[in-house]
Structure 1
């Protein structure tokens, strides 16, 4: 399917392509956002940032406000359940240099929804609208909302939430085609994303089950959405942004990265992570990324086991460099 994508404009922010990195906890830190942007993600989104963490000057939360020069435009996502604290958090995000502030109304995790945050707001639309309105009034940058289709199949509230978001001044919404009840299981229901597109005039960004150029093209064609957001399909796979962007330009299907390319990028990512977070944290956080980068490669299970046992930066690097040497020689 050959789809020529239109430019995606979110308020005052015009994107080079309608291709967005989804906000993912434990994935979308500054090092990976820079990498994703380099491969063609026209907008990168941060891990979700707690409004209360910002309000009480939590050190870890403060660190999450850091933005690298090479990642703009960047959307910083905040979560909470109170209009006043969310407005204050949004102002902090704008002051930190974010180009867009995104409101999380889709996180399905129990500890989040039990506080009335994330997906729980899809069951309290008046509160959700009040939060959006407060955030819009608190900042001069565009405000977006990330949501799911609803709490469960019986509560398909996304179209109504999107209408309320538009009325409250949101510049765009992103819709993950799964319910909160599904978490990440089953298949994303793109027909429900299409229903949201029909309900509002602001851009709708489709999210869920996008893994390559053709699936991104189908998302645009089947839903009429204005852009695509890639989450799990980008874990250990920043090349997906290059592939999707090119496919949406002219229908070209690029070849997948070679094993050598994967090992080189894994090393570069690890070095950036260590430089940003230090050896102890970088080494441990890279284990998840490494498992994604190496998935499907020959001997990947044994390799992951060795990487997980590596106790120093030098040991980790030596293991990957040995794999890279073998891959180049093949």
Structure 2
């Protein structure tokens, strides 16, 4: 993928509030545990910024304007894990110039080894401003953004990819035209979440559409949607002939899924089924990294850990009062004590396997007024975008 060599065709999808540096490290380390013996022995000789032995692990979505304005929260979010092998950042934005400025900044200041662009987020606060999954409908705007970011990154030999959905709804599909425009602009790969914005995460991902894109493009196509196990990943690749898989919700509370994925693509049958004692140890390490290497604020880190703890403990036999107490932890000491009070001699439960995350139901996408009237951006549409990036929260 450009100058990056993915030894394993596996990518952790960017997820807001989830794929920060500590979580990425845990997923990557688990992925490396699934490497074949020869690849595992070669880890010490990898070329930083180029070799991705266990795949790519992408940052949270970074707002381009917030990055250009160097808001403190955003600058903290793009700080890589010190052990990160390939620094992968996902940019979000609706203004070509700002996106290009953000890409230039990342490259000039040596803050990145790979840039991904977000054209797939279905969240209303993003789509109602014309961003995320809504943006590819405006063909000219989409093409200009991609062209400018690729041009900004090219002098530094930084690979650029795009992640998109199939369209806004079944009547407004955009993935084929957008993918061709992205390929013409010079991107190194296209990742397709095979759902529309209207679907959010409901129903089934339409893997046939990934296969259509594979046939259409000359560059690698990465498949995303409904991968909750190594077997799902292998099935997607067999069904679509995609070059690699992108995994999001399936990894929530389950970084060891990357052990399974990497092992499966290495032809190994190794699968990780940790006991509750091993899961508790992973939770504590996650909490330690959140405090020491990311937030530096124990209370904030523990508040962020609460959702992860719920995901980690899914399916285990844990009483309601114990779960409630874990959802109130404020210190690492409390986290340790409440985890150690559990019956830790439990094997990995079957109930913890399968789909994760809230699927919800299909929804009418929130879009700017008149957005669907034309697939091209007019003067009124341009005005609608003026406030799209004023929220400089960093994600």
TM-score range, shorter chain: over 0.9
Describe the shift of the 1:322–1:226 C-alpha distance in structure 2 as closer, same or farther (beyond 3 A): same
Q: Which has the higher helix share?
A: 1
Q: Aligned match of 1:315 in 334, 340, 353?
A: 334
Q: State how far apart, in whole Å, the 2-side matches of 1:193 and 1:300 are.
A: 42
Q: Aligned match of 2:233 in 216, 219, 233?
A: 216
CA deviations on 1:24-74 (whole Å, 9 max, x unpaired) are 001000101111111114100000000111122211111111012212213
Q: Aligned match of 1:127 in 141, 150, 162?
A: 141
Are 2:42 and 1:49 equivalent residues in the alignment? no
Aligned counterparts, 1:13-28, within 5 A: 13-28=4-19
Aligned counterparts, 1:178-197, within 5 A: 178-197=195-214
SS at match of 2:197: coil
CA contact 1:204–1:225 (8 Å) conserved in 2: yes
CA contact 2:160–2:189 (8 Å) conserved in 1: yes
Describe the shift of the 1:96–1:292 C-alpha distance in structure 2 as closer, same or farther (beyond 3 A): farther
| Displacement after TM superposition at 1:91 (Å) | 1.7
Aligned residue pairs, count: 319
CA contact 2:18–2:60 (8 Å) conserved in 1: yes
Q: State how far apart, in whole Å, the 1-side matches of 2:219 and 2:319 are.
A: 44
**Structure ID, larger Rg:** 2
Task: Give the alignment's TM-score, normalised by structure 1.
Answer: 0.93
SS at match of 1:184: coil
Bigger RCO of structures 1 and 2 (CA < 8 A, at least 6 apart): 2
Aligned counterparts, 1:159-178, within 5 A: 159-178=176-195
2:83 is aligned to 70
Describe the shift of the 1:58–1:324 C-alpha distance in structure 2 as closer, same or farther (beyond 3 A): farther
Describe the shift of the 1:324–1:72 C-alpha distance in structure 2 as closer, same or farther (beyond 3 A): farther
CA deviations on 1:74-105 (whole Å, 9 max, x unpaired) are 32001011111000111222224211001100
CA deviations on 1:204-241 (whole Å, 9 max, x unpaired) are 11011101111000010101100011100001101111
CA deviations on 1:172-224 (whole Å, 9 max, x unpaired) are 01111111001111111101111111111111110111011110000101011
| Displacement after TM superposition at 1:309 (Å) | 2.1
1:58 is aligned to 71
2:376 is aligned to none
Q: State how far apart, in whole Å, the 2-side matches of 1:222 and 1:126 are.
A: 32
Aligned counterparts, 1:52-131, within 5 A: 52-94=65-107, 95-131=109-145
SS at match of 1:111: helix
Q: State how far apart, in whole Å, the 1-side matches of 2:241 and 2:87 are.
A: 24
Q: State how far apart, in whole Å, the 1-side matches of 2:105 and 2:229 are.
A: 35
Describe the shift of the 1:198–1:315 C-alpha distance in structure 2 as closer, same or farther (beyond 3 A): same
Task: Give the alignment's TM-score, normalised by structure 2.
Answer: 0.78
| Displacement after TM superposition at 1:300 (Å) | 5.7
189-198 or 226-235, which deviates more? 189-198
- Indicate the RMSD between aligned Cα atoms, in angstroms: 1.6
Q: State how far apart, in whole Å, the 2-side matches of 1:239 and 1:326 are.
A: 19
Q: State how far apart, in whole Å, the 2-side matches of 1:47 and 1:210 are.
A: 19
CA contact 1:174–1:206 (8 Å) conserved in 2: yes
